[in-house]
Amino acid sequence: MTKEHLLKVLEKGIRYDGRKLTEYRPIKIETNISKSAEGSAKITIGETELIAGVKLGIETPYPDTPNQGNLMVNVELLPMSNSEFEVGPPGDNAVELARVVDRGIRESKAINTKKLCVKEKEKVWSVMIDICTINAAGGLFDAATLGAIAALQSTTMPKLEETTVNYDEKTKEKLPITRDPITVTVYKIGPYLIVDPLPEEEKEADARLTIALTRENTICALQKGGTEPLTTEIIEQMITIAQEKAPQLRKHLK
């Protein structure tokens, strides 16, 4: 019944809150919001708010990338941020979210990981991004990537003494960030395609496609979600929307 009404409204080309179908809610990014992290950012999109924090550490590299730094992305859907989230280890949704953000960053080579090698095969910098939801009110995918990139861009390297990190001394050196992927998630509800869903829209969506795009508007990661299949025509339309939206979102980054 809710969906029926939702479709009736979307048919008029507007949303429950008066937006157009492919319009985002107001976006705000604030960086360096946690002094404990090496880099951090707070993202708000409408009522959705999350914090991304970057911690750096020294680890052994993975055997297949002996001269590259490590990357880890983790998402915490904090029970503080939504009555439906529970205390405990990350569930399916949090893991999917983290992996999609991870792929966007990894595949676009947003971080120059070769510059993070301290001693080949032995010591490399590890970049650990944690994304914590403060108020989850729809559109987390796009907010999470935006948060991760903003936090990475604000990250400064702590001082390395031999092979241990002195977190009390920050250097002037920035984390080597070379690209800035953006994800746009397009949702399909009935025949309509929308971005930045409200919670009630997200619940009724038939399918979604998260599209990670580089500054050149090439695609660097995709993730289809939802139960309904998508035709190639629809996928192309979704990508066109994403390519139009990504540069607008990127403007909010420094």
Partner 1 sequence: MTYTKRFDGRGQEDLRPIEAKAGIIPNADGSAMFKIGNTVALAAVYGPRDLRPKFMQNPSTGILRCNYNMMPFSGHGERVRPGGGRRAKEISMIMQKALAPVLNLKEYPNTVVDVFVELPQTDAGTRCAGITAAAIALADAGLEMKDLVSALAVGKVGGTIISDLTYNEEAYEEEGGSTDIPVAIIPSTGEITLLQLDGELTKDELTQALELAKKSAAKIYKVQQEALKARFK
Partner 2 sequence: MTETILAAERAICTPGEILATGMGFIPGKGTYRESDNIRAGRLGILSIEGKVLKLTPLSGTYLPKINDRIIGTVCDVLMTGWRMETNSPYSAVMNLKDATAEFIPRGADLTQYFDIGDNVMCKIINVTSQRLVDITTKGPGLRKLEGGRIIKVGPQKIPRIIGKEGSMLAIIKESTGCEIQAGQNGLIWIQGEPEAEIKAAKAIKKIEEEAHKSGLTEKIKTLLQ
128 binds partner 1 (CB under 8 A): yes
Name which of partner 1, partner 2, none residue 93 binds, using a CB cut-off of 5 to 8 Å depending on partner kind. none
26 in contact with partner 2 (CB under 8 A): no
Residue of 107, 93, 105 whose CA lies nearest to 129: 105
Phi and psi angles of residue 224, each rounded to the nearest 5 degrees, phi first: -95, 135
- What is the rounded distance in angstroms from the CA atom of residue 142 to the CA atom of residue 52? 13
Q: What angle is formed at CA 220 by the lines to CA 67 and CA 52, rounded to 5 degrees?
A: 75
245 closest CA partner among 66, 21, 46, 94: 21
Residue 62 binding partner 2, by CB under 8 A: no
92 lies in the binding site for partner 1 (CB under 8 A): no
**Residue 7 found at the interface with partner 2 (CB under 8 A):** no
Distance, CA of 27 to CA of 25 (rounded, Å): 6
* Options 2-10, 64-72, 84-92, 217-225: segment touching partner 2 (CB under 8 A): 2-10
Shorter beta-carbon distance to partner 1: residue 40 or 68: 40
Tell me which of 31, 81, 108, 214 binds partner 1, using CB under 8 A.
81
Residue 62 site contact among partner 1, partner 2, none (CB < 5 to 8 Å, cut-off depends on kind): none
Please report how close the Cβ of residue 16 comes to partner 2 at its closest, in angstroms. 7
Contact 234, 188 (CB under 8 A): yes
Q: Which of 41, 68, 71, 76 binds partner 1 (CB under 8 A)?
A: 76
Residue 231 binds: one of partner 1, partner 2, none (C-beta under 5 to 8 A by kind): none
Q: Does 33 bind partner 1 (CB under 8 A)?
A: yes
Is residue 83 close enough to count as binding partner 2 by CB under 8 A? Answer: no
| Tokens of residue 239, six digits | 């990508």
Q: Can you say how many angstroms the Cα of residue 175 is from the centroid of all Cα atoms in its chain? A: 18
- What's the DSSP call for residue 21? T
